[in-house]
């Protein structure tokens, strides 16, 4: 795999260069030389304890050197990794992911750099390597030759689980070749031309946005600058860290930039080296981009688009002042080499430039489908002729995104939002059906519908309309708090509705279907 070759090169040529710096304490840092040594020992351990069959290994933790070394150890020993962030993935979701892996692979291996919740550890039935043991293994200094075992081509590199409409998360299978085709493009449009640059990491490793900075830093010999939860929870500490490490490249959701812009000290003096900001995961507004260019003179802003199923992103555009001042929303740019974008109608036929329809992504970074879910894979993925690719192939995968978009006459992609019940809030992809299923599983709930609430045409939060399942003595406010608290055991924080409204019955359309549009029209943030 080309990415592994690049990492190996940097570990040999500049072993003392920091590969990762954590925001909470110096102990959360690691050099390239240490990273390679740790990954060698972990790879040797996995090779001894697991068959080389590309089965995924859960890597549990939070933005630590051990977590990054475990990713590389998995890749070098022939295994895909499943990143699970300890602070954003609740224990029931961890159990669901482990159950899906067990159902297909037969057993589940977990490398934990932080302790699993006791209740989760006891119920998962996994081969667990706990934090102390993992640390001891990493420090053994065992050399490992990965020539015959490292992943390559169509082997899975990672499986990231996203929100699923059936109530269970879906595992997106991303191959080694997908990532090898993705990261050179990211380096090119970000203008990464030397080693030692600093890449800001905002997203947890279980969110595929993090693959942007992770692969760019590893491939270029740069440093991953990780904003940990403890720092993100304290804005003053975050600004202090940014001023200390002086990132060159910023990768985040637009919402995170909006949060930072609320602080008057978030400006060029804070980060004098900042050259490029890369945005993905949700809509970047003209207003946000304009504020950033005003605060950071000489800054390049790259607006990008792509779902997890096409390896992070597939289009990009540098945002100019002319684009910001236009009354039109910002475009998300043109597709990378190796990607073709189609706009299709409901029958799957291509539409003309200027017509809105479903965005279909075809190319050499489209994922292999959903882990253990051939039914869902068949619904959204397919294959077509690949002779148009730079490296000609007999076939290439395509993915029907469910996103609404339009290609203008210049080939620029315009993104409008989801065609179905999937939304993006603060960069996180959320299936509203999953929240509804969790609500309806509670005995206090007879029926539920979750809808988005918008402010200034941007998704602000989620609202749940609930029909109570039994007589209750508590007020609506108290009952709403109780339902939110009950959801916390099975859903991440970003999927908990901000507002819960109790109604006698859910409205229906004349044909008997749930009238979501009516409920959504009642919500203005």
What is the Cα 289 distance to its own chain's centre?
Answer: 22
**What is the pLDDT, as a whole number, of residue 166?**
61
- Each residue's pLDDT tens digit, 472-520: 889 999 999 999 999 998 899 999 999 999 998 888 765 556 788 899 8
Q: Does residue 350 fall inside a structural domain?
A: no
**What is the pLDDT, as a whole number, of residue 380?**
97
Q: Does residue 434 fall inside a structural domain?
A: yes
Decide: helix, strand or coil at residue 522: coil
Q: pLDDT-derived band of residue 325, with 50, 70 and 90 as boundaries? A: very high
Cα gap 140→292, rounded to integer Å? 46
Residue 439 in tokens: 């609500």
Lowest-confidence segment of 108-122, 167-181, 433-447 by average pLDDT: 108-122
Nearest to 413 by CA among 343, 480, 349, 339: 343
**What is the pLDDT, as a whole number, of residue 41?**
98
* DSSP assignment string, 419-432: SSSEEEETTEEEEH
Q: Does residue 283 fall inside a structural domain?
A: no
Cα gap 314→333, rounded to integer Å? 9
Nearest to 5 by CA among 183, 174, 158: 183
The total of other beta-carbon atoms located within 10 Å of residue 86's CB is 21
Which ranges constitute the DSSP H helices of 147-285? 176-189, 210-220, 229-232, 235-245, 254-261
| Residues 156 and 174 sit within 8 Å (Cβ to Cβ) | yes
- Each residue's pLDDT tens digit, 174-203: 999 999 999 999 999 999 989 999 999 999
**What is the pLDDT, as a whole number, of residue 67?**
98
Tell me the pLDDT of the chain averaged across its residues. Answer: 92
Q: Does residue 499 fall inside a structural domain?
A: yes
- Each residue's pLDDT tens digit, 45-88: 999 999 878 899 999 999 999 999 999 999 999 999 999 999 98
| Residues 371 and 104 sit within 8 Å (Cβ to Cβ) | yes
**What is the pLDDT, as a whole number, of residue 421?**
78
**What is the pLDDT, as a whole number, of residue 388?**
92
Q: Does residue 445 fall inside a structural domain?
A: yes
Which residues are within 8 A (CB) of 487 and not within 5 positions of it... i.e. 6 or more apart?
435, 438, 439, 495, 496
| Residues 125 and 108 sit within 8 Å (Cβ to Cβ) | yes
In angstroms, what is the C-alpha Rg of the chain? 23
Cα gap 111→130, rounded to integer Å? 7
**Which range marks the domain in which residue 451 is found?**
422-521
- Each residue's pLDDT tens digit, 122-138: 656 788 999 999 999 99
Q: Does residue 477 fall inside a structural domain?
A: yes
- Each residue's pLDDT tens digit, 270-300: 999 999 999 998 888 888 999 999 999 999 9
Any idea what the CATH number is for the domain that residue 470 is in?
3.30.300.30
| Residues 393 and 387 sit within 8 Å (Cβ to Cβ) | yes
Q: pLDDT-derived band of residue 367, with 50, 70 and 90 as boundaries? A: very high
Q: pLDDT-derived band of residue 320, with 50, 70 and 90 as boundaries? A: very high
Q: Please provide the size of the chain in residues.
A: 525
Q: Does residue 494 fall inside a structural domain?
A: yes
Q: Is the pLDDT of residue 164 over 80?
A: no
Task: Output the CA angle 457-461-464, nearest 5 degrees.
Answer: 120
**What is the pLDDT, as a whole number, of residue 512?**
55
**What is the pLDDT, as a whole number, of residue 278?**
98
Q: pLDDT-derived band of residue 342, with 50, 70 and 90 as boundaries? A: very high
Cα gap 322→405, rounded to integer Å? 22
Residue 97 in tokens: 């992911």
**Number of structural domains, the chain?**
1
Residue 89 in tokens: 């993935």
Q: Does residue 452 fall inside a structural domain?
A: yes
- Each residue's pLDDT tens digit, 374-414: 999 999 999 999 999 988 888 999 999 999 899 999 999 99
Q: Is 336 left (phi over 0), alpha (psi -120 to 50) or beta?
A: beta
What is the pairing mode between strands 300-305 and 198-201? unpaired
């Amino acid at each position: 795999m080309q990415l592994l070759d690049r990492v190996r090169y940097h570990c040999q040529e500049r072993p003392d260069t920091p590969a990762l710096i954590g925001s909470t304490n110096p102990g959360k840092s690691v050099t390239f030389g240490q990273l390679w040594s740790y990954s060698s020992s972990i790879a040797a351990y996995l090779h001894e304890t697991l068959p080389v069959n590309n089965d995924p290994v859960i890597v549990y933790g939070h933005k630590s050197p051990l977590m990054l070394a475990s990713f590389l150890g998995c890749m070098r020993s022939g295994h895909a990794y499943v990143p699970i962030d300890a602070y954003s993935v609740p224990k029931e979701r961890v159990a669901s992911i482990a159950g899906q892996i067990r159902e297909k692979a037969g057993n589940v291996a977990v490398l934990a750099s932080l302790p699993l919740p006791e209740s989760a550890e006891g119920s998962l039935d996994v081969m667990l390597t706990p934090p102390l043991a993992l640390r001891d293994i990493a420090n053994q200094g065992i050399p490992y030759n990965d020539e015959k075992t490292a992943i390559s081509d169509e082997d899975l590199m990672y499986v990231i689980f996203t929100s699923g409409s059936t109530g269970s998360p879906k595992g997106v299978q991303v191959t080694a070749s997908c990532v090898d085709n993705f990261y050179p493009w990211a380096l090119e449009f970000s203008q990464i031309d030397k080693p030692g640059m600093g890449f800001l990491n905002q997203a947890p490793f279980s969110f595929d946005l993090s693959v942007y900075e992770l692969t760019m830093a590893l491939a270029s010999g740069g440093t991953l600058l990780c904003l940990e939860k403890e720092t993100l929870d304290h804005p003053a500490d975050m600004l202090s860290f940014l001023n200390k490490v002086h990132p060159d490249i910023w990768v985040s959701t637009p919402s995170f930039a909006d949060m930072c812009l609320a602080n008057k000290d978030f400006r060029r003096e804070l980060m004098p080296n900042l050259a490029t900001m890369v945005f993905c995961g949700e809509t970047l507004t003209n207003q946000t981009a304009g504020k950033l260019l005003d605060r950071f003179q000489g800054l390049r802003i790259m607006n990008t688009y792509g779902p997890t199923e096409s390896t992070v992103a597939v289009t990009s555009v540098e945002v100019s002042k002319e684009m910001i001042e236009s009354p039109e929303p910002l475009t998300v740019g043109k597709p990378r080499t190796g990607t073709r974008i189609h706009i299709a109608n409901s029958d799957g036929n291509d539409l003309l430039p200027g017509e809105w329809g479903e965005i279909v992504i075809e190319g050499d970074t489209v994922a292999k489908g959903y882990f253990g879910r051939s039914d869902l894979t068949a619904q959204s993925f397919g294959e077509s002729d690949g002779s148009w690719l730079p490296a000609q192939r007999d076939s290439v995968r395509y993915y029907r995104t469910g996103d609404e978009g339009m290609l203008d006459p210049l080939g620029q992609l315009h993104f409008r939002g989801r065609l179905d019940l999937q939304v993006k809030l603060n960069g996180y992809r959320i299936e509203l059906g999953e929240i509804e299923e969790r609500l309806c599983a509670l005995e206090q709930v007879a029926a539920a519908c979750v809808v988005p609430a918008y402010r200034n045409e941007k998704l602000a939060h989620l609202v749940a309309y609930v029909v109570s399942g039994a007589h209750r003595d508590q007020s609506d406010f108290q009952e709403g708090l109780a339902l939110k608290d009950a959801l916390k055991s099975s859903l991440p924080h970003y999927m908990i509705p901000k507002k819960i409204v109790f109604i006698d019955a859910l409205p229906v359309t004349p044909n008997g279907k749930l009238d979501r549009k009516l409920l959504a029209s009642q919500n203005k943030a």
